[in-house]
Amino acid sequence: MNRTFSIGGVHPHDNKISRGCAIETLPVPETVYIQLSQHIGAPAKPIVAVGDKVKVGQPIAEPGGFVSAFIHSSVSGTVKSIAPRKDLAGNPQMAVEIAVEGDEWLEGIDTSDTLLTDIPSDDKAILAKIRLGGVVGLGGATFPTHVKLSPPPGKKCDMLIINGCECEPYLTSDFRTLLEKGEQVAVGTAILKQVLGVDQATIAIEENKPEAIAHMEEVLASLRKLSSNYAGIRVMSLRKRYPQGGEKQLIDAVMHRQVPSGALPIDVGAVVQNVATALAVYDAVQKNKPVIDNSITVTGECFPRQANLLVRVGTPLSFIIDYLGGVPEDAVKVISGGPMMGRAIANLDAATLKGTSSLLFLTAAQTSRRAETACIRCGKCADACPMGLEPFLLVRLARAGMTAELEENAVQDCIECGCCLYSCPAGIPLLDHIRMAKGQMLGIIRSRNAKK
């Protein structure tokens, strides 16, 4: 039987209704709005001014701190403004507005389809290209990749794990990337493996994607004949289970190691990168192409045209939706991401980010919640929690405002996967309460650490 993680988890229906849709390149919009805060850490600082002419791939913002990333123009044209603009949640964020004029790329970027399998030997030069390319984790966390590839002193990586699980219902862009860009993903994996100095890398894919598993095994078999760089990279089929794509759950499934509370994956010898991140590493190192686009699933049973689209960063959501036929009459909610961990979009004029993975359209019937009844102490939420928490207890503590007890019971470890809410027969909005309590607790912890 295929491996899986050892604690909690649920089995929502796949609903991968866009899995047969090949990635299609979206036309370039007339204007893009490139947000300066679209990665974990400090927002980037603009290095262009209003009136400047820019090309595709040209840096327009530099890192604002150690944990930060370069941001590049995804189009060629003129900078029209650098000003606050509402994001997906309706909150103002600084963004660079660029009016599109043609599609001229920065010199030195290789836009050909030629596969480059020879990997540079200078690891410092590779890291520099990843940093200058603005590569961040594209599985949702958007942590700057060059930082993740530089473990602190005393920490050693034993295995690189490439996350191809895509366990969220509806999402299929990673699946299509494995099928259509599998060779590039494999080369990117070998580059990451070399920089980390590890012998072993695992491309982990859930069993409900047999085409991707077979294709990646064929790709690696071919590449091993070309170079020893691809030795030690294997494909692992995992049992379908949500949220297997979570870093800690994936490490448990692949390595049988559990990341302790408050620790990081590197503390147990693991580094996890997403499939799309491995592709972005290939582009940055082999093609000198920074992160200026990403693949997005547009889906939902009520949406008339399923699609996986290659979209320039900063493209207005309304442009994507109009291209595919507009918002369906019976859609009442649009989610950025999947139905389990995604967030409702409050502003369809917001622009895509590097980490935007999906637009999911839902009907009233799909978004309605059961009427809340009293907790019956069944323990299903605790059984489902992949972090080993007790959601029913955390909610009681949150409602009572018992801050110290919330920290003692590790509310800060919640990964907001929604398994508790999904499994609760009483319809209690467990995740809503825990998410708010977690946010407050993290604020308290940051304030306390700042005083030390």
Alpha helices in 373-418 (DSSP H): 380-384, 391-399, 403-408
For residues 214 and 231, give the distance between their C-alpha atoms in angstroms, rounded to a whole number.
17
Helix (H) or strand (E) holding 184: helix 182-196
For residues 451 and 434, give the distance between their C-alpha atoms in angstroms, rounded to a whole number.
26
Q: Over pLDDT 70: what percentage of the chain?
A: 100
Other beta carbons within 10 angstroms of residue 352's beta carbon come to 30
Say if residue 243 is preceded by a cis peptide, omega within 30 of 0.
yes
Backbone angles phi, psi at 246, to 5 degrees: -65, 140
Q: What's the confidence (pLDDT) of residue 406?
A: 95
Q: What's the confidence (pLDDT) of residue 278?
A: 98
Residues 271-297 have pLDDT tens digits of: 999 999 999 999 999 999 999 999 999
Query: What burial letters (b/e) apply to 377-397, b meaning 16+ CB within 10 Å?
Result: eeebbbebbbbebbbbebbeb
* pTM for the full predicted model: 0.96
CA distances for 137 relative to 119, 271, 278, 291, angstroms: 21, 12, 9, 11
Q: What is the mean pLDDT of residues 374-403?
A: 95
Q: What is the mean pLDDT of residues 382-407?
A: 95
Q: Is the pLDDT of residue 218 over 80?
A: yes
Q: What's the confidence (pLDDT) of residue 186?
A: 98
Q: What's the confidence (pLDDT) of residue 62?
A: 97
Q: Which is more confident, 261 or 21? A: 21
Residues 102-146 have pLDDT tens digits of: 999 999 999 999 999 999 999 999 999 999 999 999 987 899 999
Q: Is the pLDDT of residue 452 over 80?
A: no
For residues 138 and 292, give the distance between their C-alpha atoms in angstroms, rounded to a whole number.
12
Q: What is the mean pLDDT of residues 175-190?
A: 98
For residues 151 and 320, give the distance between their C-alpha atoms in angstroms, rounded to a whole number.
38
Q: What is the mean pLDDT of residues 135-162?
A: 93
Q: What's the confidence (pLDDT) of residue 446?
A: 86
Q: Between β-strands 358-363 and 293-299, what pairing exists: parallel, antiparallel or unpaired?
A: parallel
Q: What's the confidence (pLDDT) of residue 164?
A: 97
Residues 428-438 have pLDDT tens digits of: 999 999 999 99
Q: What's the confidence (pLDDT) of residue 450?
A: 80
Length of the chain: 452
Residues 309-342 have pLDDT tens digits of: 999 999 999 999 999 999 999 999 999 999 999 9
